[in-house]
Amino acid sequence: MRVDRIIVLAILIALTQGFLLVIDPTSGPFSRLVSQDYQFPLTVVLLTALVAITSGIADATVRSHPQIYLLKLPVFRMRGNKFEFAPFAWILPSLLVVGTYLFLRLFDNPPVQVVGTIISSFVLLVVIIAQYYTVGRQERLYGWANIGLNLATYIAGFLIFSAIYVNKWRALISAPLVGLVTFLLTYEILRQSKASNNRLLIYSLVAALILAEVTWALNYWLLPVLIGGVMLLLIFYVVAGILQAYLTNNLNRAVLREYIIVSLVSLVLIVFSIMSNPQITS
- Is the pLDDT confidence value at 248 over 50? yes
Is residue 281 pLDDT above 60, yes or no? Answer: no
Residue 82, H or E segment: strand 81-84
* Cα angle 260-261-263, degrees, rounded to a multiple of 5: 65
What is the reported pLDDT for 280?
47
**173 phi and psi, to 5 degrees?**
-105, -50
Question: Contact at 8 Å (CB) between 121 and 105?
Answer: no
The Cα 93–Cα 54 span in angstroms is 7
What is residue 252's DSSP assignment?
-
Question: What is the rounded CA–CA span in Å between residue 241 and residue 256?
Answer: 10
Q: Which residues of 194-227 are buried (b: 16+ CB within 10 A; e: fewer)?
A: eeeeeebeebbeebbebbbebbbebbeeebeeeb
What is the dihedral sign for C-alpha 62, 66, 71, 73? Answer: positive
Q: How does DSSP assign 154-191, residue by residue?
A: HHHHHHHHHHHHHHT--HHHHHHHHHHHHHHHHHHHHG
Look at residue 139 in the predicted model and tell me its pLDDT.
66
Which burial class, exposed, middle or buried, applies to 264 when counting CB atoms under 10 A from its CB (0-12, 13-18, 19+)?
exposed
Q: Give me the residue spans of the domains in the chain.
A: 1-139, 171-282
Give the length of the chain.
Answer: 282
Residue-wise pLDDT tens digits, 28-74: 665 666 666 666 677 788 788 888 888 888 888 888 888 887 777 77
pLDDT in tens, 85-129: 888 889 999 999 889 888 888 877 778 878 888 888 888 888 988
- CA 178 distance to own-chain centroid: 11
Summarize pLDDT for 128-187 with one digit per residue, the tens: 888 988 887 666 778 888 889 999 999 999 999 988 888 777 878 889 999 999 999 999
What is the pTM assigned to this prediction? Answer: 0.84
Q: Please state whether 217 falls in left (phi above 0), alpha (psi between -120 and 50) or beta.
A: alpha
Rounded CA gap, 56 and 97, in Å? Answer: 13
Cβ distance 225 to 168 under 8 Å?
no
**Cα Rg for the chain, rounded, in angstroms?**
20
Give the closest residue to 102 by CA, choosing from 162, 46, 54.
162
Which one has a higher pLDDT value, 79 or 191?
191
